[in-house]
Structure 1
Amino acid sequence: MATKSEAGIVHKPVAQEVADLLQSLGVPEASWHGGTRAARSPITGEITAHVVEAEASAVSGAVARSVAAFEAWRTVPAPRRGELVRLLGEELRAHKTALGRLVTLEAGKIVSEGLGEVQEMIDICDFAVGLSRQLYGLTIASERPGHRMMETWHPVGPVGIITAFNFPVAVWSWNAALALVCGNSVLWKPSEKTPLTALAVQALFERAVTAFGGAPEGLSQLLIGGAEVGAALTDDVRVPVISATGSTRMGRIVGERVARRFGRSILELGGNNAAIVCPSADLDLTLRGIAFAAMGTAGQRCTSLRRLIVNESVYDTLVPRLAKAYASVSIGDPREAGTLIGPLIDAEAYEGMQKALETARAAGGRIHGGERVRADAAADAYYVRPAIVELDEQIDVVKHETFAPILYVLRVGGLPEAIKLHNDVPQGLSSSIFTSDLREAETFVSAEGSDCGIANVNIGPSGAEIGGAFGGEKETGGGRESGSDAWKAYMRRATNTINYSRQLPLAQGVSFDVEG
């Protein structure tokens, strides 16, 4: 049924809008109509489609097709491979509004974030196109006269990509764009919670292939299904690289299974990101940085700000201002222009948030917000006010990531205490410090500072650009995706020595002469 907003805007029924978008994006109706897996929108909780699933038994055949595609694709010159990715980027540009809208409807992101996710896909395509002409190796000095030693990089094989609901399409593009220009084929197992955006991206990829003039069949395949499909993909020895984004619990399973067969994992797992606020911080800038990082995407980013470590000299000024912002932030239908926070993805996310708040309250936490809002919303839609939890110490619940908008606030003395508290969690993805003191900033990004893969100064931990390698340490998994030299994870390295002399000196002065 149609819904009417508080501003009087009448919205088309979500299911109808989803159907219209899928058709406009060229997704075959047979793939999302009449299947066995229900797709839901967190905006209203309603079922929007019934998606056709892959059986676990079908994964082997998909991998076989992927192997054949890889064997053909690896022989295509890298700049030519980059042309396919360029055309994918053009398709994304042409359909940015529709795909961004579909992200909003399926993941519950506000409109600007849905569009921003597609822009991120476009950006990584641009990055990968340039990279296709810069897949470089090293020339290394040889100790043997008349010899040249060098390092070369080669395509590695089919790459399995397992993505999470919170970035339903961007994370695929980080992996796929690089894997494709590196000469690999890809197999994508999307989150069960966001299959429709995956279908849409696959349709756009197939359009790019047509414009390209044809590519090997099975170069990019979509495997929609549950955990058993992911397990079959993870266990297949013909897939040398598995890139998995999700919880630490999931990563432990994937990492162990891939390691057991001597495969390679790129793991992007849990984050428990903190920001340190120093006495010299610009509090206006700090407040804005905290607000987006902690409340954006309803706290459902792996880089969301979850811990705020505030110097005692500014605590009583900053925290009341922050509580005021939390109390007034607009929460509602993410399709509406004034909304800043949309719904949680589902009931499980809401229940996890309430359980964490109950635990914090029992430990003496002083809680602002956290309640369910929007009584006009459907029973299966979960809108919540972001929560601030003031604590006297970093208790156990703070050290576990709750994928919801909860910000734990802790008071500290000097910077050494703040950094120690900051690093005292199992995760190590993203981090930030707000300060005007050069020494404090440099200390935070030094070896004795943040132990995370991302360390920022005077911006929050959320909102990474594609030019830098993305990933973290400890229970975050250690993987790196997107920019910098992350492309090397999708290739295999070979060290080559070429003897162009008529002599055969051995390394390390070894002598081994024979007569023949």
Structure 2
Amino acid sequence: MSFLDPADWERSLFTGHWVPASSSATSREPATGEKIGEYGVASPADVASSVEAARVPQRAWAAATYDVRAAVLRRAAAAFVAHAEEIAEVFGREAGAARGVAAPQAHIAAEECFEAAALAAMPAGDLLRSRAQRLSFARHVPVGVVGVIAPFNSPILLAIRAIAPALALGNAVVIKPDPRTAVCGGAVFAEVFREAGLPEGLLHVLPGDAEVGAALVAHPHVPVIAFTGSTGGGKAIARAAAERLKRTHLELGGNSALIVLPDADISAAARAGAWASFRHAGQICMAAGRHLVHESVYDDYVSALAEEAAALRVGDPVRTDAEIGPIIDERQRDHIHGLVTASVDAGAELLSGGTYEGLFYRPTVLGRPPLDAPAYAGEVFGPVASVVPFATLEEAADLAADSEYGLALSIFTRDVLAGLDLAERIPAGLVHINDQTINDEPVAPFGGVGDSGNGARHGGHQSNLEAFTEVQWVTMRQAPPAYSW
């Protein structure tokens, strides 16, 4: 019997155990159209019942000692590692991820679980000074039920970084995976935590459409929503949550800048730039959409980047050694191609790519696009790099800062202090000097500014404590004081 036995999850929802769903849909490989299985589709009514069901075991889970919660997270990490090969295969098939992207997913998830296990043992709060004769302290307490809404592009990492710390800190979790990745982004978590011995009812997996997500946001007993997805979706969630004074952790879109200064190693920068723009077919929020290159090295850089793009193999990510897999669906492919075509029509030079077969889009390099060209000015979420020259550091800073987004920033230079000085002038949640934009570690705070989100909400113990607990002030006296008017 396989770890992800379809007999368990097909046409079912996970509420601590698999239960029949009222409806189902087909999961297919974007690379081949081959059927993966029939996953259960949730409804808003399922959200309501899951949230209420999760509240009961959550109280006992919050009262459990930290070592009990930590042990479950460590066992979950072990389960991810033990089933890494099967998880990578289903991730590659369902998300269209090449082997280099799919293979590390389970191990990255295991790291997140190990960090969460350590988080469970962190100090619970602070001892406070008080003018009165009393013990005064602030402590972190679980929020209750956390709602997690995850996207299709990296459904394991982008969900586990909320699921693991939320559980470690004593909460229950209801996750709504993107229906396009309902198996690798849903059934995987159900089976991992079932194998880890998580008490029943603390994790619910409810694949569904926007109505299911809206029901999760609207539920009065879900005080925290962790959402990773589009900026438009995040803004809609923020508006709905504001009506209920609900906390949101929003990790949204990006159009990250990668700056190449005149003293940079051009070959190394171009290779890193290709990784930043084309990895996972560009379907990563941190992807570098804008390459800003000093005019003295522009020709060398853009030529090297175009060569890198042309050399990448595009194809079935599971059955071949292709570095670039398919776009997730036709709608996204057509969106990408529309942006490329409009940008070329506006004056951008098509230096590589710009074509597709089926859902396979060739890595594309656009030279000298107008600054209002859509593939330069907005998020593409596809394998497209727009390259623009600049003359001065001031111009580079202005170009990089001229975006509604503020997620990742890369600067390539041999003078790292000059690079850091330049970064000071550019709003970004993540800055990498002499490295590309796609970077993430469970011990580091992660988040963007502007239209990229509401700051660091994931990664690092402090971010996770703030994200998934409430701070409560407690005082204790030996006896009540004698109050007089």
TM-score normalised to the size of structure 1? 0.87
Query: Is 2:406 the counterpart of 1:428?
Result: yes
CA contact (8 A) 1:27 1:203 kept: no
Residue 196 of structure 1 and its aligned partner are, at CA, apart by 1.2
Matches within 5 A, 1:189-228: 189-197=176-184, 198-209=186-197, 215=199, 217-228=200-211
Query: Is 2:248 the counterpart of 1:278?
Result: no
Q: Could you say which residue in structure 2 is the equivalent of 1:22? A: 4
For residue 31 of structure 1, the aligned residue among 12, 24, 35 is 12
Matches within 5 A, 1:63-462: 63-142=51-130, 144=131, 146-197=133-184, 198-209=186-197, 215=199, 217-336=200-319, 338-373=321-356, 381-391=358-368, 393-395=370-372, 397=374, 398-446=376-424, 449-462=425-438
Query: What amino acid is aligned across from residue 22 of structure 1 in structure 2?
Result: L
**Cα-Cα RMSD:** 2.2
CA contact (8 A) 2:95 2:152 kept: yes
Distance 1:228 1:411, change over 3 A: same
Query: What amino acid is aligned across from residue 169 of structure 1 in structure 2?
Result: I
For residue 475 of structure 1, the aligned residue among 446, 451, 456 is 451
CA contact (8 A) 2:138 2:471 kept: yes
CA contact (8 A) 1:445 1:456 kept: no
Q: Could you say which residue in structure 2 is the equivalent of 1:514? A: 484
Separation of aligned partners in 2, 1:313 and 1:111: 37
Q: Deviations over 1:293-342 (max 9, x none)?
A: 11100000011111100011111111111111111211111124631111
Separation of aligned partners in 2, 1:175 and 1:70: 16
Matched residue of 2:80: which SS?
A: helix
Distance 1:287 1:233, change over 3 A: same
Q: Deviations over 1:38-87 (max 9, x none)?
A: 21111112333222212222211111011112122111112211111111
CA contact (8 A) 1:146 1:501 kept: no
Amino-acid identity (%):
30
Query: What amino acid is aligned across from residue 444 of structure 1 in structure 2?
Result: L
Distance 1:303 1:472, change over 3 A: same
Distance 1:359 1:28, change over 3 A: closer
Residue 118 of structure 1 and its aligned partner are, at CA, apart by 1.5
Matched residue of 1:482: which SS?
A: coil
Residue 368 of structure 1 and its aligned partner are, at CA, apart by 2.3
Residue 171 of structure 1 and its aligned partner are, at CA, apart by 1.4
Residue 495 of structure 1 and its aligned partner are, at CA, apart by 2.7
CA contact (8 A) 1:70 1:184 kept: yes
Residue 392 of structure 1 and its aligned partner are, at CA, apart by 5.0
Separation of aligned partners in 2, 1:250 and 1:329: 32
Query: What amino acid is aligned across from residue 172 of structure 1 in structure 2?
Result: A
Query: What amino acid is aligned across from residue 255 of structure 1 in structure 2?
Result: A
User: Structure 1 unaligned runs (5+)?
Assistant: 1-18, 375-380, 505-512
Query: What amino acid is aligned across from residue 424 of structure 1 in structure 2?
Result: D
Separation of aligned partners in 2, 1:269 and 1:443: 26
Query: What amino acid is aligned across from residue 117 of structure 1 in structure 2?
Result: Q
CA contact (8 A) 1:246 1:269 kept: yes
Query: What amino acid is aligned across from residue 350 of structure 1 in structure 2?
Result: R
Query: What amino acid is aligned across from residue 443 of structure 1 in structure 2?
Result: D
Distance 1:159 1:502, change over 3 A: closer
Query: What amino acid is aligned across from residue 357 of structure 1 in structure 2?
Result: V
Separation of aligned partners in 2, 1:141 and 1:278: 51
Query: What amino acid is aligned across from residue 420 of structure 1 in structure 2?
Result: D
What count of residue pairs does the alignment treat as equivalent? 474
TM-score normalised to the size of structure 2? 0.92
Query: What amino acid is aligned across from residue 39 of structure 2 in structure 1?
Result: V
Separation of aligned partners in 2, 1:151 and 1:181: 19
Separation of aligned partners in 1, 2:353 and 2:268: 24
Matched residue of 2:316: which SS?
A: coil
Matched residue of 1:284: which SS?
A: helix
Q: Deviations over 1:243-285 (max 9, x none)?
A: 1110011111111111111111010111111111001112222
Q: Deviations over 1:415-474 (max 9, x none)?
A: 22111111111111111100111332221343xx23111011000110312210111011
Separation of aligned partners in 1, 2:254 and 2:114: 28
Distance 1:136 1:295, change over 3 A: same
CA contact (8 A) 1:26 1:200 kept: no
